[in-house]
Every structure is written in structure tokens, then in C-alpha cells.
Amino acid sequence: MNMENNNISSQQSSEQIERKRSNKKEHGTFKVIMSFLGSMELAITLFVMVGIASIIGTILQQNQAYNSYIIKFGPFWFEVFRSLELYDIYSSWWFVVLLGFLLVSTSACIYHYVPVVVREWRRFRLSVTAKSLKLMHSSGSWTAQSNVEDTLKFVQEKLKNGGYDTRYKNEQGIITIAAKKGSINRLGYLFTHGAIIVICLSALYDGNFNLKLREVAGQLKPETRDLFASQVPDISRLKADENHAFRGNANIPEGSTTGLVFLQMRNGFLVQELPFTITLNDFRIEHYDSGMPKSFESDIVIEDKESGEKIAKTIEVNHPLIYKDFAIYQSSFDDGGSIMDLQAWSLDAQEQQVMSIKQVVGEKKVLPTSRGEFKLELSEFKVFNIQPNPDAEANSGKSARKFKNMGPSLTFRLRDSSGQAVEFINYMSPKEQEGRYFFLSGLRKNVADPFQYLFIPADDQMSMKRFFEVRALLNNQQEMLRIAEKTAALSLQSDAEVDQESINRIAIVMQRLADLFNRGGFDQVLEDINAKVPEDKRDSVTESYFKVLQTILGTVYLEVLQKEGIDISKNITPAQELFYDDMFNTMGVLANYSSPVYIQIKSFEHKEASGFQITKAPGKDLVYLGCILLCIGIILMFYVAHKRIWVIIEPYSIASEQDGVRLIAAGSGDRHQKEFAKEFQALSQLLDQYTAKKQQV
């Protein structure tokens, strides 16, 4: 029986030893993990990585349309940056992981440091020796004809007057006083690290990482099509209570109301419903002379969907409206759906044709042309176009303005049946250049390219009618053959031996040359010469061709003038001659104008729209708290010094008949050593005075 009990005891002892080893091993593993997470090296690495990511997120504008990034960086770097999720850094998986690690690392640091802070707060370090105090940089010793109790009372009083908290011990008649102040600076570490934790929590809370998780789960899908808000499906919509934090945009025309904002998400968008509606009553804007916006503001009315409460406010730039948990910023302005009265001049018609078009900016309309159906997309209308005035420098001594208004302009796209689009910008009023007036039309095939401008000369009535009359006549082959025969007959009328057959042959050549020029401009004529004429004769043939071309175009021009009722029997005016030269030059490049029509602005009804940025960031209060904690922590760590002073009072025989005490004082501070030296010197002077006074007594 005893042997059995011994075996049981031995087995229990083995189990206890094994359990202790297992606990020790687990404790050691936990300690290693916590040591790694709380290490300074990891914290610095995480801070650097988060800092670099934040710099990139500040420099690179976030959550823009993918097309703008493609234009800016090109296809290759666009894909590289997209794969790294640089276009939405603060919600990328790797940034969230960084914040999570930083949060855990900082928490581990606090976990390690809190016991140290508590221990140091309560510890006065009374176990010091006279020998150790004498080795300190700030130290001194005194003797006085006094007893230990009176000296203890005096020293404690002076230390407390200096702001020190004191403790003392009496060991065999030897008094050791320990005093300290500034222990609160130990809290600086906790405050700064706590601030980092609070800010990380707010960043994680306000990020839209939850939207990405819902997208991965198939509960959410960004809309990539160009749809109206009412047409966006439910899978791309968010209810007012489904998203606790967001930053979206709303563009509201004057007199319109909306209760939605659009959230940009990679190459698409989401529709976020609001618990209130915003009505824009009026929008106002002022400009500097340079054309830059000086100030703009909006008069809005907010109506709560649940309570029906209405609030009327004016929002200005940098003065947002805070409504409940939402901040509404005045961020931009745009066209609010201006109604445009347009005319489309045909470039291919044989008779002058003008098509009237009435269209709202932002809408799309099918436009029938001689080259098939095109889609007319009006994208932007500007009432003012302020540009530098080239005459200002020449007239610097006069009151010439540095900038001038180019007047209203319309930006639009013409998209053919294959989906290819060309962007145009047309100005409403003719612009003066070297004393003549031109209608300007810029075009570009890629949004990254600058506009290339076509200059159409304005006639005596400041219109384009004469130019398009000439163009229509050049398109009419039958009329051009008649004009060519007439021109040939006039050119050869001095030659008596020329017959009608020769005239017809020359007329056909003239007509063909005019047709080449009309269809392809100067380039087409030169291409024809290069294909048919030997290289050594091209210069002379080119000169002859252009003389013939100018002759027949001159005849066409004169017929148009005559049709206008202008007497051409006399010489035409210099202005009419300049118009012909300008028209000839414009016709020579008109083939590069990638449009079958010229869109002219006749009149408009302007409507403004105000752009608002609406944010909901409940974590911002945590950020404010974190900033306050960070400031307090920095102040405590760098501006509050932790100081300690020790004083040992022991009985000391001054003479054979007199008893006294010996004082040994020393101290140190963790920073601001010069300041502490002055403070210790002041204490030393008090002890000097005390010992001198006692000596006199």
C-alpha cells in the first residue's frame, strides 16, 4: 500500500514538474512575442512605412477616375500604381495591415511600460548610502550644532516648498530623506503612445475598408456605366444607415434638390443616400482680373427626411456647414445645365445649310450629318474665358488691362458610330488678331493633348456666312465646272487660236485641282504632285498649281461677293482681299478638322451648379482626442523634468562637549541639467544658512 501511494505521489510530482515546464515555455514564448511587438525597431519601421504611405497619399490625389490617372501616368505606370492600390491608399489592405500592426505594437509598448510607470511613481529609492551620494555630480555635506529631529523638520519643509514630495526612513538613528518631483513626466510616454492608438483606431474606423469587404463578399459592386442616379442598381447603392463614414460629392444646379452623393471607387462609383436633402437656391461667384475665382458661395436649404426640419444657410469656401454628423463643404462649381441655342454649319453640303439645335449642357443628342449619325455631347459651358492680353505689354504706359475676356465658350464631343470621339471647344464671339476677326474652334483627339485651333475669318457682318457660302460652292461639282470653264475662258481670251475643246480641257484640270484642295487641302495637292511629277520638276509645277488654284478660288470668291450684292466691277477693298487670303489659308487646313459640321453658339440660358463635398467622419473626435493626448504627452516628456534629491542626516560629534548632525545631500535630474544645478545650488545655500545660524547659536 505504501509502495502504491509512493508511485501515485511520484506520478503527481512528475505531472506538476511537466506542467511548470509547459507554463514556463508558454510564458517564454509570449514574452518573446510581446518583446518583438513592443520593440523600438518595429515601431520605427512601421512609423516610416506609414509616413511614406501618407506622403504618397498626400501628393497623389486619391479616389479620382481611372481615366485621369491613365492620362497622367500612362498605361504602364497606371497598372503598376493600381496593383499597389496607390489610388486609394488609406483603404488598401496593406495600409490597414500597417495600421493594425502599429496599433498592436503601440499597445504592446504600453503593456510593457505601465508596470514600470506605476513602480517608478511609487518608488522613492530610500536605499542609498552616503558614499553613493558623494559620487553624484550635484552633492555636498554640512555639519550643524543641531539635533536630528529639528534638522529633519527643516529639510522636509524646504523640499516641500520647492515642490518635492518626500519620504524618509530612520535606521539606527540615521535619517534618509528621498524627495522627487516631476514624476508626472513618466505619463508623457503613456499619453504619446495612447495618442497613437487613438489615432490609429479613428483611421481604421473612418476608412472604407468595410466597403471593400462587402465588395469581396459580393454584396456591393461599383457602377462603371454612365447612368443617372435613379438608374443605378441597388447593388451599387448605400442606404443612409449602411455606411458610418464616407466622403462624397454632389453637383447641384440652381433650383434643384438632391438627397444623394457619389462616392468614387476605383473605376466606378457608388450612390450614397443621405438622411436629408439639399436644395440650392442661389450660387454666386466673383473673379480676379486674371480670371481665377475670387470667392464663391451657395445659399442652400437642408430638409431632414425624417422630421421635416428645414435649415437655410450660406456656405462659403473654407466655411463648411456642420449638420448633425455631416460636414458640407463648398468645393467647386460647374455648369448646371445651361440651355444652348446652337447652329450646325455643314462642311459637305452643296447648298449652304444651317441646322438649328437646342440642347442642355450635359445631355447627348444624335446629330444627322452627310457622313452618318454623330452623337453630340455637350460637356462644359463657360460664360467667361479670361486670358492674358497680348496688347498689355505693348501699351504698358497706358491703362491697358493685363487680361481680357474671350467671351463664352462651349466644350463638346462629337462621337461617330464606332464610338470614336473628338473634343472641341468653340468660342461664341469672333476674336481680333492683327486687325481681323476670326471665329475660333479648337479640337483634340486625346484629352491629354493640347487643342489645335481652326481660325474661320469673319465677314463684314461679323458672321461665318460668307465663308460657308464659298465652302458650299466648292462642294458643288456642277457649279465648279461652270466656274472653271468661265475662269479658263477669261484666262485664254487673249489667245485667238484657242478653241472650246482647249478651254474645256483646262477647265477640267482646274476643277480637279480645286476638288483636291477642297477635299484634302494643301497636303492633298502636294501629295498629288509628288505622285505624278518627277522630282526635278516639282518646284515649278507646285508654283503653277497654286497660281491656278488661287485663280479659280478667286473666281469662286468673287461670285459669292456678287451674290451678296457687292459691286465687283471695281476693285475689291483691302479688307475683302485680306478675307480672301485668310479664307484660302483656312480652307487649306480644313481637311484636318475632324467634323462634318461647325457648331456655332447663337444664344444661351446660363445656369450655375454648385459642387459640394459631404463628409461623415465620426472618428474625427477620436483624432482630436489623440492630438490633445499627443500634445500633452510631448509637453510632459520634453518640458517636465524628473528630479530627485536625497539627504542623509546622521548624528555627528562636533566637539567633545557638543553633539550635532552631519548632512549629506545630492540630487540628479533626467534633463535640463543646468536648471537642476541652479535648483540644487539654491538648496545648498539654504543649508549653508541653516548650519551657520546653528553654529552661531
What stretches of 383-512 adopt beta strand conformation (E)? 386-388, 403-405, 409-415, 421-427, 431-433, 436-444, 452-457
Q: Is the pLDDT score of 495 beyond 60?
A: no
- pLDDT for the residue numbered 291: 67
Give the C-alpha distances (Å, rounded to integers) separating 18 from 9, 28, 32, 520, 633. 14, 15, 21, 96, 46
Contact 596, 369 (CB under 8 A): yes
Helix axes 574-589, 500-532, angle to 10 degrees: 50
- Least confident stretch, 13-27, 91-105, 561-575, 609-623: 13-27
Contact 474, 568 (CB under 8 A): no
The residue ranking higher by pLDDT, 114 or 493, is: 114
The residue ranking higher by pLDDT, 124 or 499, is: 124
How does pLDDT run across 308-361, given as a tens digit for each residue?
Answer: 999 999 999 889 999 988 999 999 888 888 999 999 999 999 888 899 999 999
- pLDDT for the residue numbered 443: 95
With cell 552661531, the residue in question is 696
How does pLDDT run across 422-476, given as a tens digit for each residue?
Answer: 999 999 999 998 889 999 999 999 887 899 999 999 998 999 999 999 999 999 9
How does pLDDT run across 135-169, given as a tens digit for each residue?
Answer: 998 999 998 888 889 899 999 999 999 999 999 99
- pLDDT for the residue numbered 20: 52
Q: Is the pLDDT score of 596 beyond 90?
A: yes
Q: Which of 83-92, 282-291, 688-697 has the highest mean pLDDT?
A: 83-92
Q: Is the pLDDT score of 533 beyond 90?
A: no
Say how far apart CA 504 and CA 323 lie, in whole Å.
83
For the entire predicted model, the pTM comes to 0.68
Q: Is the pLDDT score of 251 beyond 60?
A: yes
Any bridge partners for residue 534, and if so which?
A: none
Q: Which of 115-129, 494-508, 601-615, 671-685 has the highest mean pLDDT?
A: 601-615
Give the C-alpha distances (Å, rounded to integers) separating 111 from 39, 45, 46, 409. 12, 20, 18, 65
Say how far apart CA 154 and CA 688 lie, in whole Å.
12
One-letter identity of residue 53: A
How does pLDDT run across 274-322, given as a tens digit for each residue?
Answer: 999 999 999 998 877 766 778 889 999 999 999 999 999 999 988 999 9
- pLDDT for the residue numbered 290: 66
* All three cell numbers of 568: 465687283
Say how far apart CA 623 and CA 618 lie, in whole Å.
10
* All three cell numbers of 531: 505622285
Q: Is the pLDDT score of 399 beyond 50?
A: no
pLDDT band at 6 (very low <50, low <70, confident <90, very high): very low
Q: Is the pLDDT score of 390 beyond 70?
A: no
Say how far apart CA 92 and CA 54 lie, in whole Å.
12
Average pLDDT, the chain: 86
Contact 82, 68 (CB under 8 A): no
- Least confident stretch, 46-55, 59-68, 138-147: 59-68
- pLDDT for the residue numbered 551: 87
pLDDT band at 66 (very low <50, low <70, confident <90, very high): confident
Q: Looking at residue 319, what DSSP letter applies?
A: B
First-to-last alpha carbon distance for the chain, in angstroms, is 85
- pLDDT for the residue numbered 52: 93
pLDDT band at 400 (very low <50, low <70, confident <90, very high): low
The pLDDT > 70 percentage for the chain reads 91
The residue ranking higher by pLDDT, 412 or 29, is: 412
What stretches of 72-185 adopt beta strand conformation (E)? 138-144, 165-171, 174-181
Indicate the class that CATH gives domain 126-182+641-696: alpha beta
Q: Is the pLDDT score of 8 beyond 50?
A: no
Q: Is the pLDDT score of 11 beyond 80?
A: no
Alpha carbon 592 to its chain centroid, in Å, reads: 36
CA dihedral 108, 111, 112, 117 (to 10 degrees): 140
- pLDDT for the residue numbered 420: 92
Q: Looking at residue 230, what DSSP letter applies?
A: G
Contacts of 303 (CB under 8 A, 6+ apart): 276, 277, 279, 309, 310, 311
Say how far apart CA 681 and CA 140 lie, in whole Å.
10
pLDDT band at 545 (very low <50, low <70, confident <90, very high): confident
Say how far apart CA 272 and CA 256 lie, in whole Å.
18
* All three cell numbers of 693: 545660524
- pLDDT for the residue numbered 657: 55
pLDDT band at 258 (very low <50, low <70, confident <90, very high): very high
Say how far apart CA 271 and CA 236 lie, in whole Å.
6
Question: How many C-beta atoms surround the C-beta of residue 466 within 10 A?
Answer: 22
- pLDDT for the residue numbered 352: 85
